[in-house]
């Protein structure tokens, strides 16, 4: 099929829920993507913070191929070794005690919500508990995940959503305090807000919410789907703060492209939470995704990916700060590790489109942020190349 045919057929057959950029990617190598015409793109989006090792990684690919030949799926009625290995690695990396594997980030959020509700139900002997989530958050598109997503525009057509959700302001402890009562079972937020505009939690907010949760036996749920898996410079972004969640969600880079998510909890929560019959999934944690997660975590540990992120981050930040200083319509930079945003007063969708023409993949966040979420394996030369291309694009805005 020609590029034009692919785009035409996609628009005709696939439900129109995305306004896609007119690019058809064909293959990738390292931190570069190639379209069907062979044009090269430097990738600073990683398929939305997914492809941590970039493209064409031999070891990862070989592990997937070997598992495909051996066994892909059996259901959760039986045990399988790859997911058991993956679980052990994931728990060691997160210092959590129990994990449930899902097929996406959204499903991880669903599971986290159910776990928190069940915990409070067991504790109090009644249902009807509430969750405090944040304005400008993003947790997914299913009814449950959408109910805790603080974006009126996404929610409005689908009302009524799940009841019992209140929205506080991120990084504003007083606004969280004002929302809790004796029925609150959980406070939920992203350690670094992603889609909402790349806002890292403040140290005071993390500590304040943790203390609030401890004082009232409320569960702290941290959504690490985007900011986790080494991207921040620690395996999970909350590890920068010395504040441990009771429940944590992961996905995106967890499988580096194989669809998998997970929610984790402490033993204290697990004891009073989901029991046989309370939750399930047909695919979740099958041998194939188990092999992917096992290999991803093995490579991240062995290659000390978080050390590399810590090392390259100051350079990326410095280069982005220089770029921000150069243009008066770029009002600043926010972020953590290799999840960075440039706040831009020009239409950011147009910046992303122009960048693609220039051979650079960047994405947006919120209405005014250029989001950079490259593969975690980038080197200084890639930062330089990105800055050169983005500078070119901004210069012509
Ligand atoms: C992407 C994302 C989700 C949803 O994950 P899916 O895999 O798209 O279902 C939830 N929370 C955050 C923070 C995300 O970035």
Angle of the 305-326 helix axis to the 287-302 helix axis, nearest 10: 80
For the Cβ of 225 lying below 6 angstroms from any atom of ligand 1, the answer is: yes
CB 267 within 8 A of CB 98: yes
Q: Which atom of ligand 1 is nearest to the CA of 193?
A: 13
146 lines ligand 1 (CB under 6 A): no
pLDDT for 40 equals 98
Asked if residue 139 has its Cβ within 6 Å of ligand 1, the reply is yes
Ligand 1 binding pocket mutation candidate from 48, 139, 256, 364 (most atoms within 8 A of CB): 139
Helix axes 81-94, 287-302, angle to 10 degrees: 40
What residues pair up with 332 in beta bridges, in sequence order?
Answer: 343
Measured in degrees and rounded to the nearest 5, phi and psi for residue 66 equal -60, -40
Max CA pair span of the chain? 62
What pLDDT score does 380 carry? 98
Nearest atom (ligand 1) to Cα of 190: 13
pLDDT above 70 coverage of the chain, percent:
100
Average pLDDT over residues 47-52: 98
pLDDT tens per residue, range 87-141: 999 999 999 999 999 999 999 999 999 999 999 999 999 999 999 999 999 999 9
Q: How far is the CA of 189 from the centre of ligand 1 (A)?
A: 12
| Percent of the chain's residues with pLDDT above 90 | 100
Distances (CA, A) of 355 to 224, 349, 359, 382: 28, 10, 6, 15
Q: Ligand 1 center to residue 73 CA distance, Å?
A: 24
Span 314-327, mean pLDDT? 98
CB of 227 within 6 A of ligand 1: the answer is no
Element (H, E) at 344: strand 339-344
pLDDT at position 240, please? Answer: 98
Amino acid 331: pLDDT:
96
Predicted local confidence at residue 283, as pLDDT: 96
Pocket test for ligand 1, best of 226, 284, 335, 336 (most atoms within 8 A of CB): 226
pLDDT (average), residues 17-26:
97
- Over residues 363-386, the mean pLDDT reads 98
Ligand 1 touching residue 226 (CB < 6 A): yes
How large is the average pLDDT for residues 277-294? 98
Q: In degrees rounded to 5, what are phi and psi of residue 33? A: -110, 155
d(CA 299, CA 127): 43
Give the mean pLDDT of the chain. 98
Comparing C-alpha atoms, which of 391, 382, 301 is closest to residue 43? Answer: 382
The minimum-distance atom of ligand 1 relative to the CA of 106 is 9
Residue 252 CA to ligand 1 center (angstroms) comes to: 7
Which residues, 6 or more positions from 235, have their beta carbon under 8 angstroms from its beta carbon? 93, 94, 228, 229, 300, 306
> CB-hemisphere CA count at 13 Å for 125?
0
Q: pLDDT category, 313, cuts 50, 70, 90?
A: very high
What is the Å distance from ligand 1's center to 49 Cα?
Answer: 10
Q: How many residues does the chain have?
A: 397
Reported as type and span, the H/E element at residue 7 is helix 3-13
Q: Report which ligand 1 atom has the smallest distance to the Cα of 251.
A: 7
Model confidence pLDDT, tens digit, residues 139-180: 999 999 999 999 999 999 999 999 999 999 999 999 999 999
Burial tier of 224 (Cβ tally within 10 Å: 0-12, 13-18, 19+): buried
Mean pLDDT of all residues in 286-311: 98
pLDDT tens digits, 227-269? 999 999 999 999 999 999 999 999 999 999 999 999 999 999 9
Distance CA(195)–CA(365), nearest Å, equals: 5
Convert the pLDDT of each residue in 203-215 to its tens digit.
Answer: 999 999 999 999 9
For a substitution probing ligand 1, which of 51, 133, 138, 371 has the most ligand atoms within 8 Å of its CB?
Answer: 138
Dist. CA 154 → ligand 1 center (Å) = 14
- Where residue 3 falls among pLDDT bands split at 50, 70, 90? very high
Residue 193 contacts residue 224 (beta carbons within 8 Å): no
Alpha-carbon distance values, 230 to 9, 250, 252, 309, 380 (Å): 37, 11, 11, 7, 18
- Closest-lying ligand 1 atom to the alpha carbon of residue 104: 7
By three-state DSSP, how is residue 341 classified? Answer: strand
Q: Look at ligand 1, atom 5, and give the residue with the nearest C-alpha.
A: 105
| Ligand 1 geometric centre to CA of 327 (Å) | 31
How many Å lie between the centroid of ligand 1 and the Cα of residue 319? 28
pTM of the model: 0.98
> By CB neighbour count within 10 A (0-12 exposed, 13-18 middle, 19+ buried), where does 312 fall?
buried
Task: Give the single-character DSSP code of 52.
Answer: T
Which atom of ligand 1 lies at the shortest distance from residue 109's CA?
Answer: 10
Range 282-309 average pLDDT: 98
Cα torsion 60, 63, 69, 70: sign: negative
Which ligand 1 atom minimizes the distance to the CA of 224? Answer: 13
Measure the CA–CA gap between 305 and 267, rounded to whole angstroms: 28
Q: What are the DSSP E strand ranges found in 146-301?
A: 165-168, 184-190, 192-193, 199-200, 219-223, 247-250, 261-265
Residues 311/102, Cβ–Cβ less than 8 Å: no
């Amino acid at each position: 099929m020609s590029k034009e045919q692919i785009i035409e057929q996609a628009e005709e057959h696939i439900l129109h829920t995305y306004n896609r950029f007119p690019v058809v990617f064909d293959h990738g190598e390292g931190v570069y993507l190639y379209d069907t015409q062979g044009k090269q793109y430097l990738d600073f989006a990683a398929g939305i913070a997914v492809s941590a090792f970039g493209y064409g990684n031999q070891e990862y690919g070989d592990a997937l191929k070997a598992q495909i030949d051996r066994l892909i799926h059996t259901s959760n009625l039986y045990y399988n070794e790859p997911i058991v290995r993956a679980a052990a690695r994931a728990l060691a990396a997160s210092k959590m005690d129990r994990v449930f594997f899902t097929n996406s980030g959204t499903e991880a959020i669903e599971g986290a919500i159910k776990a928190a509700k069940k915990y409070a139900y067991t504790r109090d002997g009644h249902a009807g508990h509430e969750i405090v989530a944040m304005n400008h958050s993003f947790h997914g598109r299913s009814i449950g995940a959408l109910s805790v997503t603080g974006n009126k525009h996404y929610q409005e057509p689908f009302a009524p959503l799940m009841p019992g959700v209140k929205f506080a302001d991120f990084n504003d402890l007083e606004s969280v305090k004002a929302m809790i009562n004796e029925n609150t079972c959980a406070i939920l937020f992203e350690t670094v807000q992603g889609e909402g505009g790349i806002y890292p939690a403040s140290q005071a907010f993390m500590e304040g919410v943790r203390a609030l949760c401890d004082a009232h036996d409320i569960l702290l749920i941290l959504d690490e789907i985007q900011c986790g898996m080494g991207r921040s410079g620690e395996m999970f972004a909350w590890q920068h703060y010395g504040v441990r969640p009771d429940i944590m969600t992961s996905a995106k880079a967890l499988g580096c492209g194989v669809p998998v998510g997970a929610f984790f909890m402490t033993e204290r929560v697990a004891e009073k939470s989901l029991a046989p019959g309370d939750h399930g999934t047909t695919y979740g944690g099958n041998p194939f995704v188990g092999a992917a997660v096992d290999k991803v975590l093995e490579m991240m540990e062995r290659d000390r990916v978080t050390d590399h992120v810590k090392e390259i981050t100051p350079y990326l930040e410095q280069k982005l700060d220089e770029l921000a200083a150069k243009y008066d319509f770029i009002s600043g930079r926010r972020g953590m590790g290799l999840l960075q945003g440039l706040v831009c007063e020009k239409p950011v969708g147009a910046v992303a489109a122009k960048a693609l023409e220039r051979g650079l993949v960047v994405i947006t966040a919120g209405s005014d942020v250029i989001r950079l979420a490259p593969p975690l394996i980038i080197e200084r030369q890639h930062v330089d190349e990105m800055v050169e291309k983005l500078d070119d694009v901004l210069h012509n805005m």
